[in-house]
Amino acid sequence: MAASSTSVTSAGPARPAQNFWGRLRGGDEIAYLITFIAAASILLVTTLLVFELYVNSHLSRAKFGWSFLTTSTWDPVADQFGALPFIYGTAVTSFLALLIGIPLGVGAAIFLAELSPPKISDALTFLIELLAAVPSVIYGLLGIFVLVPILRLVEPYLRAVLGWTPLFSGPFYGVSLFSAGVVLSVMIIPFIISISREVILAVPGDQREGALALGATSWETVWDVVVPYAKKGIIGSIFLALARSLGETMAVTMVIGNDPKIKASLFAPGYSIAAVIANEFTEATGKLYTSALIELGLVLFALTIVINGLARLMLVGADKYKA
Amino acid sequence: MADLHTLRRKTVNAVMLTVTGFCALFATGTLLFILGYLFAHGASSLSWAFFTKLPTPVGEAGGGMANAIVGSGKLLLLATAVGVPIGFLGGVYLAEFGGTTFSYVIRYVTDLLNGVPSIVIGIFAYTLIVLPQGHFSTLAGGLGLGVMMIPIAVRSSEEFLRAVPNSLREGAMALGASKAKSILTVVIPAAKNGIMTGIMLNLARVAGETAPLLFTSFGNRYWSSGWEQPISALPVMIFTYAISPYQDWHNQAWAAGFVLLTLVLAVNIFARAVLAKKKHVAR
């Protein structure tokens, strides 16, 4: 099976010196086979992952069908499972994260790529890339013990300004959709910055020179010429950040409040898909409960695949990602 | 009139320069804040017992996380055993042997796997090992982390192998070496530093992963022997201790966070220094 598929794939590219028989001497075909098996096992692992998620969520899919996605009752005691509160929580926190993260991230990327002196830019970029390496549980730790107390201080002012909207009404306990969104925004900013910065740096120099020669200020050059040129890549970086925030588990679990209800207020505690899996998986009693949680995993998987796919489409144009 | 217009443009220019500068400052300020806060809080909660003692029962002060530190090490060892061979050899395939269609599929799937949320990888390891065996185990946790390592291992291996100039391959072949021999004795040694650095960065990344471990290796307040028992890991301990109601546990969570972050950042800084040096040589 493996041998036959080897000869098939190796016959594909038009490189006559490297066909299957040519490689037979010198152990070439063994090396080929070993690396081929490794590469194929990546395909196998990924397929198996989808398969396991699909098969093990069978009970829940059979019982609830598509209504799993549209009902909002999550009652393990009565064996009623609806994913809407979690989908809502995931969407709201990710949206909030983007709302805060996009302006800050893109702004910083513009500064680092175009406006700042190279030395400052290098130093800051280094620090920001380190920020991307901080484990999410550390963000959660800081979220609980630092961010939530800070938000408690900020909350009265927010309420004074925006309290008339339903978004900022109701009591604030600290853990909430709002806190989760803020933590997520801090987590995705480094991603937006480092990818957007690279995309902006890849814009050809003559674009800038042309604009500057026409008398544009440096900001006008950046905003009217460079950024539109890099637009697709920047949007791609935002999609990547979105995919990451949708799947982010630990930091969100620690500050979102873990309440499976849909409330209009951002100050209310909520729940996200990843958080409910993290919290309830080990205590899930009964096959249907586990199956429902695995189906949530399937939903999360599908969501991130779609968003990542979109990001890839956007980033294909950017030089760095041209494979 | 024209002057006013110019003045406006110059003002906008200056204002936006400042605003974007503040964005950059905010982002880096966050890191410095995280570091500063963790250092202040974590270092003061850190003691020798943290590295040498087991966790104490609830309510009893003191104790440490010796088992979690060893546990993280064991899990990373397993993860390396799963993720690195597949990732590295897969990278060799893509860089040296790959054709068009199959390589495209592999790259695509690798990207896809890289985008899978870590909690979903946890479910995968659970269904694969915990469910059939009926109990949590080190093995399942290591497998989860190993799967997480694969995509990055593939990509970094491929990238560094591709960076090896073709003239080296041609030279080896001109001397009569077979393709396998030239890869093994010329190409891989030339890319070795980069690949090792990639693996270290990869390890640093999964060392902080919590989500795939929650329902695979689960956690353990005692020593875990062999590979079949549940085992505790530093990030999982941080999580459980941080959401607990006890002040003493909070302090220990800070100490563990401090240790974890120090390790992760040290590896990152070291790796980046190695890579930067390599780039200078290449140019």
A84-143 per-position pLDDT tens digit: 999 999 999 999 999 999 999 999 999 999 988 889 998 998 989 898 899 999 999 999
Domain end marker among A33, A56, A79: A56
Q: State residue A11's pLDDT score.
A: 43
Among A5-9, A89-93, B220-224, where is mean pLDDT lowest?
Answer: A5-9
Contact B120 A247 (CB under 8 A): yes
Spatial distance between the Cα atoms of B240 and B258, rounded to a whole number of angstroms:
16
Q: Kindly state the average pLDDT of the residues A299-311.
A: 93
Contact B34 A142 (CB under 8 A): yes
What is the span of the domain harbouring residue A6? 2-56
Q: Kindly state whether residues A167 and A268 are assigned to the same domain.
A: yes
Would you state the pLDDT for residue A5? 40
- Taking each continuous run of H as one helix and of E as one strand, the counts in chain B are 12, 0
CB proximity B135 to A under 8 Å = no
User: pLDDT by residue (tens digit) across B233-271?
Assistant: 999 999 999 999 988 899 999 999 999 999 999 999 999
Pairing state of beta strands A74-75 and A80-81? antiparallel
The residue from A35, A56, A77 where one domain ends is A56
- Specify whether A19 is located in the same domain as A74: no
Say if domain B50-282 classifies as CATH 3.40.50.720.
no
Average pLDDT value for residue range A288-309:
94
Contact pairs from chain A to chain B, CB under 8 Å: 289
Is some CB atom of chain A closer than 8 A to the CB atom of B202? no
Q: Which residues contact B235 (CB under 8 A, 6 or more apart)?
A: A135, A137, A250, B72, B207, B208, B209, B210, B213, B260
Chain A hits for B31, Cβ within 8 Å: 127-128, 130-131, 134
Higher pLDDT, B282 or A133: A133
- Residue B175 sits at the chain A interface (C-beta within 8 Å): no
Q: Are residues A36 and A147 both part of a single domain? A: no
Is A153 exposed, middle or buried, given 0-12, 13-18 or 19+ CB atoms closer than 10 A?
Answer: exposed
Q: What is the DSSP letter of B55?
A: B
Report yes or no on A52 lying in a domain: yes
Q: In this complex, do B238 and A43 lie within 8 Å of one another by their Cβ atoms? A: no
In CATH, what number is assigned to the domain containing residue A139? Answer: 1.10.3720.10
The 10s digit of each residue's pLDDT in A22-77 is: 555 567 888 888 999 999 999 999 999 999 999 999 999 999 999 999 999 999 99
**Disruptive mutation site among B5, B30, B37, B275 for chain A (greatest number of A CBs within 10 Å):** B30
Q: Is the pLDDT of residue A225 over 70?
A: yes
A226 falls within a domain: yes
Which residue in A42, A120, A124, A239 has the most chain B C-beta atoms within 10 A of its own C-beta, making it the best mutation to test that interface?
A: A42
Query: What's the pLDDT band for A242 if we cut at 50, 70, 90?
Result: very high
- Provide the 10 A C-beta neighbour count for residue A127: 18
Residues A16 and A102 in one domain: no
User: Where is B262: in which H helix or E strand?
Assistant: helix B247-282
Work out the minimum CA distance from A277 to partner chain B, whole angstroms: 8
Distance from CA of A165 to the nearest CA of B (A): 28
Residues of A in contact with B250 (CB under 8 A): 145
Our CA-based measurement puts residue A140 at a distance from the nearest CA of chain B, in whole angstroms, of 8
Q: Is A217–B12 a contact, with Cβ atoms under 8 angstroms apart? A: yes
Same domain for A185 and A161 = yes
Q: What is the ipTM of this complex?
A: 0.91
Give chain B's mean pLDDT: 91
Q: Is residue A124, in this structure, part of any structural domain at all?
A: yes
Q: Do B20 and A107 touch (CB under 8 A)?
A: yes
- Classify residue A64: in a domain, yes or no: no
Whether A20 has a pLDDT exceeding 90, the answer reads no
Any residues with CB less than 8 A from the CB of B180 and at least 6 apart, and which?
A23, A26, A27, A28, A30, A31, A32
> What are the residue ranges spanned by the domains of chain B?
2-45, 50-282
Give the DSSP H or E segment for A54: helix A28-56
Alpha helices in B116-233 (DSSP H): 118-125, 131-133, 138-162, 166-174, 179-182, 188-207
Does A142 lie in the same domain as A11? no
Give the contacts of A126 (CB within 8 A, at least 6 positions apart).
B272
Q: Is the dihedral of CA B46, B47, B52, B54 positive or negative?
A: negative
pLDDT of A6 above 70: no
pLDDT exceeding 70 applies to what percent of chain B? Answer: 97
pLDDT in tens, A181-196: 999 999 999 999 999 9
Please give the pLDDT value at position A18.
54
Query: Mean pLDDT throughout B130-149?
Result: 94
Residues of B in contact with A28 (CB under 8 A): 178-180
A203 in the same domain as A296: yes
Chain B hits for A312, CB-CB cut-off 8 Å, are: 111
Indicate whether A7 pLDDT > 50: no
Question: Chain B: residue nearest A274 by CA?
Answer: B119
Q: Mean pLDDT score of chain A, rounded to an integer?
A: 88
Closest A-chain CA to B147: A45
- My answer on whether A100 and A161 are in the same domain is yes
Taking the Cβ of residue B107 and every Cβ of chain A, the question of whether any pair is shorter than 8 Å is answered with yes
State the DSSP H helix or E strand holding residue B183, giving kind and residue range, or none if neither. none
- Report, as an integer, the average pLDDT of B104-131: 94
Residue B27 pLDDT level (bands cut at 50, 70, 90): confident
pLDDT confidence of residue A24: 57
Q: Answer yes or no: is A62 within a domain.
A: no
